[in-house]
Amino acid sequence: MLSDWFSPGINSDLLTPSVVAIVLGYLMLNLASLTTNDDFPIGGRIWISRLGWTTFLIGWAGFLTWLAFRHGLL
């Protein structure tokens, strides 16, 4: 049920995946910046960069949601 996601337990359940997503996205962005187009198939570097940014931003969105729940804004 959707209401289960907004229970008080989300305060602790959302922090760890958010931090992991931020770190993973950051590492993927570094991987994309350190590689050349020859290291991956055609367009591989671009897709790693896009996936890194997406993961990084989802992680920050989750962290900010956790922070808002923590301070009672949501």
Instruction: Note the pLDDT tens digit of each residue in 43-74.
Output: 777 888 889 999 999 999 999 998 888 888 87
* In a domain? residue 22: no
Residue range(s) defining the domain that contains residue 65: 27-74
Q: With cut-offs at 50, 70 and 90, classify the pLDDT of residue 10.
A: low
Number of domains in the chain: 1
* In a domain? residue 72: yes
Query: What's the DSSP call for residue 42?
Result: T
Q: With cut-offs at 50, 70 and 90, classify the pLDDT of residue 23.
A: very high
CA-based max dimension of the chain: 49
* In a domain? residue 3: no
* In a domain? residue 59: yes
* In a domain? residue 19: no
* In a domain? residue 2: no
